[in-house]
């Protein structure tokens, strides 16, 4: 499969993935949970390569939610170590491949060393634009919206608030520099979004697969893209209106 989209539709630009199932993968193999997370980290690198091959410019992955702090302390500590390992191991690859790293979420609440590593990689890759990897870390869509409203309140006066629309509000979100996701994938068979990109994913196609994240390969990604290609993206319009359009509508 050499391209990510059939020629009659706007190319798939942004895939977001809820990487779920690491713990169950480890349990099935009789391994500690952290080994499942380690396998998941290694798989992210492979999927990033697949996304590049399929010419999809934006990949966003749900790496650590605000709710994940409730997990056992040793597991959380292990997850932070794995994030550091990923950054140390693959920073040179990201730079060589010209992949820009971004982070959404309140990542400053992570351990100080992890924050330093993240900021160093973001700075080293900030001039790249063709390929983009975004990590959602200490992320919650609801917290993001609350933060956006606070920033909006600080910058806008009462008169300008009257003209507030989605374009303006979205400029205060963590994802202000990213296009909305076209396709959201969740692995492991769970069928919910779990507080991930709730506003940005308003018109996204959503694909659920029973495949556990460490086992999710390029072939599974291609199957998700086939699902996306088969969908008619209406954005609230009728089929007749869609047929009159020469390209996908832009929603403001």
Catalytic residue IDs: 20, 68
Token pair in block for residue 39:
């396998």
């Amino acid at each position: 499969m050499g391209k990510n989209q059939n020629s009659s539709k706007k190319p798939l630009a942004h895939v977001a993935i809820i990487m779920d199932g690491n713990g169950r993968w480890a349990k099935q193999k009789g391994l500690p949970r952290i080994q499942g997370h380690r396998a998941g980290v290694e798989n992210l690198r492979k999927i990033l390569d697949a996304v590049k091959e399929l010419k999809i410019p934006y990949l966003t992955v749900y790496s650590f939610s605000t709710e994940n702090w409730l997990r056992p302390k040793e597991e959380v500590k292990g997850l932070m170590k794995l994030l550091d390992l990923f950054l140390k191991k693959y920073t040179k690859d990201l730079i060589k491949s010209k992949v820009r790293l971004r982070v959404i979420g309140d990542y400053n609440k992570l351990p100080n060393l992890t924050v330093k590593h993240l900021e160093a990689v973001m700075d080293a890759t900030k001039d790249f634009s063709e390929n983009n990897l975004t990590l959602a870390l200490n992320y919650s869509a609801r917290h993001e919206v609350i933060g956006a409203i606070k920033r909006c309140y600080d910058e806008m006066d009462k008169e300008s608030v009257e003209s507030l629309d989605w374009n303006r509000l979205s400029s205060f979100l963590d994802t202000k520099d990213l296009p909305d996701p076209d396709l959201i994938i969740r692995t492991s068979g769970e069928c919910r979004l779990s507080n991930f990109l709730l506003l940005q994913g308003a018109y996204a196609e959503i694909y659920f697969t029973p495949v556990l994240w460490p086992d999710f390969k390029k072939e599974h990604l291609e199957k998700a893209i086939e699902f996306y290609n088969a969908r008619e993206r209406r954005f609230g319009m009728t089929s007749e209106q869609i047929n009159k359009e020469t390209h996908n509508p832009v929603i403001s």
